[in-house]
Structure 1
Amino acid sequence: MMINLREKILAYGVSTLKNEELLAVIIGNGTKQNSVLDLSQKIICDSGGLDLSLEQLMAFNGIGVAQACKVMAALELGSRKIQADTLSEKIVSVDEVGQHLINKIGNTPQEQLVAVYLNNSYHVIDEKIIFIGTVDQATVHPRDILREAIQMSATQLIVAHNHPNGSLMFSQNDQEFSLRLKKGCQLIGINLIDHLIVTKKAYSSLKSLNLI
């Protein structure tokens, strides 16, 4: 089985492997009762994906410390790769920013406020994590965002933050913060394109709800 998977990677590329096949390559070996692919399918099915702790992973028959550590390391590496990805220098739409941030911050356990800075042609100049923690008027001030915009001569701005609880609804704090940010943007000639709420599967737009 492992030889076949390696041949598949060599012939067609690693992106052609299914999730259970990727996991099988990492685990390496199955048990007398289950092949490594069967074991991988069971882990993915029973866990609803791969949202597992080290202890939960080791509870599966056939997964020892070494295999569990390999899987957790691979998942962490993938997570860090996503965190490192940026939209730099691309021309983007709000939807593209939303989809990008679903991957980047949608699954993080703490709220993160991200600002995406653009020029007049909607090229991304940069994106920055401005704050980690609850986003409200007491913890985040528009100047923290606008200072960066002025330094990089941005004329367009999209802000977003994630809701770890999975809710796509804007809170009163979210709306009040957005209105303060919009006023600050207007004073210095920056267009606040949108404020997005991001979860692990979707995003919502304050602009589309006519809240800014």
Structure 2
Amino acid sequence: MMINLREKILTYGVSTLKDEELLAVIIGNGTKKNSVLDLGRKIVYNSDGLDLNLDQLMAFNGIGVAQACKVLAAIELGTRKVESDTLSDEVVSIDDVGKHLINRIGHAPQEKLVAVYLNNGYHVIDEKVIFVGTIDQATVHPRDILREALRISATQIIIAHNHPNGSMMFSKNDQAFSLRLRKCCHLIGINLLDHLIITKKSYSSLKSLNLI
């Protein structure tokens, strides 16, 4: 089985492998009752998007500490690769930003507030994680966002935060914070373009809902 998977990678590229096949390559060996590919299928079927910890992995028959650590390391490496990806320096739209942030923070286990800074031509200047934790007016102040905007001479800002629970709904705190930030932006000549809620698969826009 491993030889076949290696040949598939060499012939067609690693991107052609299914999730269970990638896991099989990482794990290496199966058990007497289950092939390594069967083991990979069980892990994929019984996990929520491979959101697994060490104990959960080791609960599968045939997964020891070494194999579990390999799988976790591979998942973490993939996560870091996605988070390191940056937006194009070309003109970007709200949709471009939303899709990018689904990959970057959509799977994060904690809420992350991200600010994307643009110039007048809608080119991205910088992207910064401002805060990690529950987002509300008591924990995040507009100055935390605007300080960076002033430093890099940004004239447009898009903010976004993820909902680990998958909800696409804006809370009253989300709207209140956005309105407060918009007023602060207006005072110094910066335009708050939108506030996005990011989940694992999609995003929603506060501006499209006429909430700011």
- Length-normalised TM-score, structure 2: 0.94
Shift of 1:88: 5.2
Letter in 1 for 2:151: Q
CA contact (8 A) 1:185 1:192 kept: yes
Shift of 1:120: 1.7
- 2-structure distance, mates of 1:77, 1:119: 32
- 2-structure distance, mates of 1:112, 1:5: 37
Secondary structure in 2 matching 1:73 = helix
Q: Residues 33-79 of structure 1: CA distance to partner in whole angstroms, max 9, x if unpaired? A: 22211111111112243122211111111111211111111111111
- 2-structure distance, mates of 1:91, 1:19: 34
**1:135–1:49 CA distance, 2 compared to 1 (3 A):** closer
Match of 2:204 in 1: 204
Pick which of 13-22 and 40-49 moved more. Answer: 40-49
Shift of 1:207: 0.3
Match of 2:9 in 1: 9
- Length-normalised TM-score, structure 1: 0.94
CA contact (8 A) 1:88 1:125 kept: no
Q: Could you list the structure 1 runs, at least 4 aligned residues long, displaced by more than 4 angstroms after superposition.
A: none
Secondary structure in 2 matching 1:116 = strand
Match of 1:51 in 2: 51
Letter in 2 for 1:43: I
Q: Residues 6-34 of structure 1: CA distance to partner in whole angstroms, max 9, x if unpaired? A: 11112222111111111110011112222
Match of 2:152 in 1: 152
> What is the CA RMSD across the aligned residues, in angstroms?
1.4
- 2-structure distance, mates of 1:2, 1:82: 27
**1:88–1:128 CA distance, 2 compared to 1 (3 A):** farther
- The alignment of Structure 1 onto Structure 2 pairs a total of residues equal to 212
1:1-212 correspondence runs (5 A): 1-87=1-87, 89-212=89-212
- 2-structure distance, mates of 1:123, 1:117: 8
- 1-structure distance, mates of 2:198, 2:49: 20
CA contact (8 A) 1:185 1:191 kept: yes
What residue ranges of structure 1 are gaps of 5+ in the alignment? Answer: none
Q: Percent identity?
A: 79
